[in-house]
A = this chain, B = another copy of it.
Amino acid sequence: MNKHISEKVINRLTLYHCILQDFISRGTQHISSKQIATLLHIDDSQVRKDINLLNNSGKSRVGYIVKDLKKSIETTLGFAKTKKAFIIGAGNLGMALAKYDNFTSYGLNIIGLFDNDKSKIGAKINSKPIMDINDLQKFTKEQGVEIAILTVPGEFAQKTAEHIINANIKYIWNFTPTVLDVPSDVQVWNENLMGNFLQFTYTI
């Protein structure tokens, strides 16, 4: 699958996926583009256009077949290919993300958390162990982890990022409000909550 799908389309497809999961849990078998569009307050021609990008065959007279459409989104967005990740920072945000079971169904396998707080190390959150940050390099290598989810307080972000990079992790999902200074072979995705908020409230 090398067809280019834009960020906005990926974003909408994951929202459709949420809706489809909800329909499945309620036992509904069919869904129309209009139903999806109404829930998201967008145009149903947009929904049809997005769905046409998928190799989706599950269309019937009464609408899309919910299970087939969900499967098509998963195949297209590559959920099947599981990625392993560690959460760095077992504070409230790290714990919230560790408890977020939804990640697994999207192919993100969070294996454990790391912290430097001795009182937390050894505990488990949602069956995931909290480990000593000094063991990061060892466990990264042993378990073949590619992604670090960074949730430490902003003032420790840069130093912790350097620790992550030393452990040979090349992808950092950065939840801290700090822009990280990293080598060019390391990719950082800034989960810029304030930027998102301002996009939302810009017109209020």
Contact = CB atoms under 8 A, between A and B. Distances in A.
A155 B148 CA distance: 28
Interface stretch (A63-71, A101-109, A130-138): A101-109
Contact of A83 (B13, B171, B204): B204
Top 6 closest A-B pairs, CB basis? A92-B96, A93-B96, A14-B195, A189-B200, A11-B195, A92-B95
Contacts of A199: 7, 10-11, 189
Contacts of A58: none
B96 A91 contact: yes
Interface of A: 5, 7, 10-15, 17-19, 22, 39-41, 77-78, 83, 91-93, 95-96, 99-100, 102-103, 106, 108, 146-147, 151, 154, 171, 173, 177-181, 184, 187-202, 204
Given A15-B190, A196-B191, A41 B106 contact: no
Contact of A194 (B19, B92, B103): B103
A99 B93 CA distance: 10
Q: How many copies does the complex hold?
A: 2
Contacts of A100: 177, 193
Contact of A40 (B13, B151, B179): B179
Contacts of A18: 177-179
Given A15-B190, A83-B201, A102-B177, 15 more contacts: A10-B198, A10-B199, A12-B195, A14-B194, A15-B192, A18-B178, A19-B179, A40-B179, A41-B184, A102-B154, A108-B194, A108-B197, A108-B201, A171-B200, A171-B201
Given A22-B179, A92-B99, A189 B196 contact: yes
Nearest to A2: B203
Nearest to A77: B198
B93 A201 contact: no
Given A96-B96, A178-B22, A179-B40, A14 B198 contact: yes
A108 B177 CA distance: 15
A191 B193 contact: yes
